[in-house]
Structure 1
Amino acid sequence: MASTHDHPGEQAAQDPIKLIAIRDEPLSVDEVLRAVGDDAAGGTALFVGTVRNHDGGADVDTLGYSCHPSAEEEMRRIAGKVAAEYPVRALAAVHRVGDLRVGDLAVVVGVSCPHRGEAFEACRKLIDDLKHEVPIWKHQRFSDGTEEWVGAC
Structure 2
Amino acid sequence: MVFDKKYSDEVRRLAVERVRQRRLEEPENRSIVREVAEEFEVGPQSLRKWLTRYDDGSYDYDPVPGSVAPAVFADGHGDGWEPRAATVGRQERRTTGQRELHARIEELEHRIAVLQEDNRSLTRVVSLLADQLRVATTNGVQIPDSTVRHAPRA
- Higher gyration radius (CA): 2
TM-score (norm. length: structure 2): 0.24
TM-score (norm. length: structure 1): 0.24
Larger relative strand fraction: 1
Larger relative helix fraction: 2
